[in-house]
Chains A and B, each alone.
Chain A
């Protein structure tokens, strides 16, 4: 089931959220700050998730562990 689909799916969701942030923050002294904050937050959270997901999609090595004797 490991596919690239979630990457794009979540990307579109995040783009939608960014559009909402841009359009829905009301005018006022904090509009620029709030807009920038929300948009940057969504972007950075998505980026980190995407990188983590992609790195584990088709890993080149497998984990191994030596058996630990339970004390």
Chain B
């Protein structure tokens, strides 16, 4: 695998680079590098408080702008009628690099401030107007209702007058005429009118009754429409009340009590004409307010529309600028040379691209001073970066979820591209279901450009992200469906079956006719009553065979790692004993399975042995094989040999490596070197470390002590013990774990069959119109159950188990997974983070 092209086999080689950026070009350089997305900057000021960093002022400014943008967004969302926000890809970009950049940002700041001020003012006036309107409409109600009271009171004046105690009233009944004429003068009962919450009305009545000892007459009506608060939108129901009483003190008490209970009092005139005037006035003012409110609403909406046009590009600019200044805070400011010093990781392959980007940034900014890039050599571990495209991204992500690969170790994501869909398909094998998920994947891929921009939500988003995984899963499921000969629980008869059926005593027995069904499972087994006995045996053995092969493959991935990192010792102390142990027991089992299948037992004099009992017998009673059920002559001897070899591997794994480490330590001690804790002897530093000190221009380079491996002997021993036990026990348990391939495919097939039997099978025989109706209904039920239960639910289940097999059974054979991910400054990724 040549070095000219990146490959997914290992993570990319990374370089530590140092950038000397003149302050004038700094902003534009970082902007350019952010667009490129190839550099991860290190924090060169780890001890500095975030509030004391150099660019705190700028960041605060952008925070303020971001707050204003958030305010706009929330205001736009609150509007009942939808306000369109122009999407980012449709907006013209704001240029924030180059000589005009500062002016653009200042203008943006101003514009945002103005918009905010205007919006706040409009919101305020809207609120005030709303309140005024509410008061006025309450007053109108009061006027209307009290008019009713007064009218009623006038007609009942005859009865009411009897209880009045005032001197100027004539006591004779024939004065009715006079009283009607001058009713307003006679009607000198004072009153208090107002509105109150409907819930409070009975309380008010009771309190007043008690306080005034019944010396009052209260009447109240409901106001039919509720009052809606324009700002908060909550509704309150109120009643109009009018209280008639006599005497200053009583009236004052009534007023106080009413106000304390939250009522609003309105001055109502006793005169009918004056009341009519007030009513007219109130109505006019109400109308005026309505108009003003309406116009305020219109103006506010148009303001929000203008904001909506520009909101996304403002947001984009603010986010980018904030990221730029936060990154610049990580740099070191060299006062003497007026430059910023930056350090970061980047893929070695991309160094030329970065150089060009730096030059481009200088040209854009209009100055002549270019930033200088220098490559450093270091002992520190670089981040792990695997270059992916839209196809491989999904597979790499699911393998990365288990742990990021150590720098430059073999990347399991490369192989997962095929092995993961394959193991999934073994558990999902059905042509029909495979076709459904294939179709879904193709649909997503065809629409991928459109869907990539849309916000798909938490449910559909992950499915879209894994569309290529689903595509391969569907394709492999078609193949395994063909192998299992299963399409929606029915079998296909493409080729000639290997069994002929004969009727014997009411049961049809199959007789072999010499043919083998060439491609897949014979359909004769599908209809057979004992079909499951055969398929169970077939699938279980297949799971074990494929499992052992997968684990062997994963184990072999250790080799490139040992070779790359110069751990030749590990090949002999770890890899070889592990491989021998695995093959001598489980490789042997696989060979026996394949061998037993290839023998024609009808021509043999021995009985076919149970392989499980054979394996158990191999360990419990080695060397003794019943000659009637032996697989091959000489089996006893071979099995004893294999058990011995496996038994030797255990102490080999346990002791070899610690022994060699110990010998090496003795050697270095013997040559006069002391452990790293003491500084008397010469330092066991490699040339690389010393070079850093030279290039550092006298700066003190802190040597990372933790990079050196602890040559503490006890740790090596313990590590090796754990490793050995884990591997040996793991061999057995992981091999059994692969049986889930059988279990899930059995469950899937059974579920599919039951669904068919309970739905469509009952309906397909029906004839006539009612038959068609039933067919349509039940068919719909069958199809939706197929999609939701069998494809989605079972699909997710098989996905999970296939993933587990990769993460635990396969990765434990070779994966270290101790790396950290490469997180470059990338404006494209800022989007995803939000």
Residue numbers of A with Cβ under 8 A of B are: 1-2, 4, 6-7, 27-29, 31-33, 36-37, 40-41, 44-45, 47-49, 51-67, 71
Contact = CB atoms under 8 A, between A and B. Distances in A.
Contact of A33 (B392, B501, B511, B549): B392
Nearest to B1: A32
A59 B426 contact: no
Given A2-B515, A63-B534, A49 B483 contact: yes
A47 B521 CA distance: 14
> Binding site of A, secondary structure by majority: helix, strand, loop or mixed?
helix
B527 interface: yes
A4 to B, nearest CB: 6
Given A1-B515, A56-B517, A51 B545 contact: yes
A32 to B, nearest CB: 4
Given A32-B8, A47-B549, A63-B525, 13 more contacts: A29-B387, A33-B392, A40-B422, A44-B419, A52-B521, A56-B521, A56-B538, A58-B601, A59-B512, A63-B530, A65-B527, A66-B506, A67-B507
Given A31-B5, A48-B483, A51-B541, A65 B514 contact: no
A44 B520 contact: no
B510 A36 contact: no
B479 interface: yes
A44 B501 CA distance: 33
Contacts of B600: 57-58
Contacts of A59: 512, 534
Given A55-B541, A67-B508, A61 B517 contact: no
A64 B511 CA distance: 9
Given A52-B521, A58-B600, A65 B414 contact: no
A45 B1 CA distance: 25
A70 to B, nearest CB: 10
A31 B537 CA distance: 40
B652 to A, nearest CB: 30
A64 B508 contact: yes
B240 interface: no
B8 A52 contact: no
Contacts of A44: 418-419, 422
13 contacts: A27-B5, A36-B9, A36-B414, A37-B418, A44-B419, A48-B426, A52-B538, A52-B542, A53-B516, A56-B522, A61-B533, A65-B528, A67-B503
A56 B516 contact: yes
Given A1-B515, A52-B538, A54-B597, A64 B509 contact: yes
A1 to B, nearest CB: 5
Nearest to B545: A51
B511 to A, nearest CB: 7
B548 to A, nearest CB: 11
Contact of B597 (A32, A55, A62, A67): A55
B675 interface: no
Given A37-B417, A44-B418, A62 B5 contact: no
B684 interface: no
B529 interface: yes
Contacts of B507: 64-67
A1 B495 CA distance: 15
A45 B482 CA distance: 11
Contacts of A55: 537-538, 541-542, 597
B503 A54 contact: no
Given A52-B538, A58-B600, A64-B509, A33 B520 contact: no
Given A44-B419, A55-B597, A63-B528, A31 B483 contact: no
B601 A33 contact: no
A57 B498 CA distance: 10
Nearest to A7: B598
Contacts of A49: 483, 519
B633 interface: no
B747 interface: no
Contacts of B4: 27
Given A2-B516, A48-B483, A63 B531 contact: yes
Contacts of B627: none
Given A65-B528, A66-B506, A67-B507, A33 B7 contact: yes
A29 B742 CA distance: 38
Nearest to B526: A63
B417 A33 contact: yes
Contacts of A32: 1, 5, 7-9, 414
A51 B542 contact: yes
Most buried by B among A32, A37, A48, A66: A48
A63 B417 contact: no
B597 A63 contact: no
B559 interface: no
A59 B599 CA distance: 10
B524 interface: yes
Interface string B419-442: 100100010000000000000000
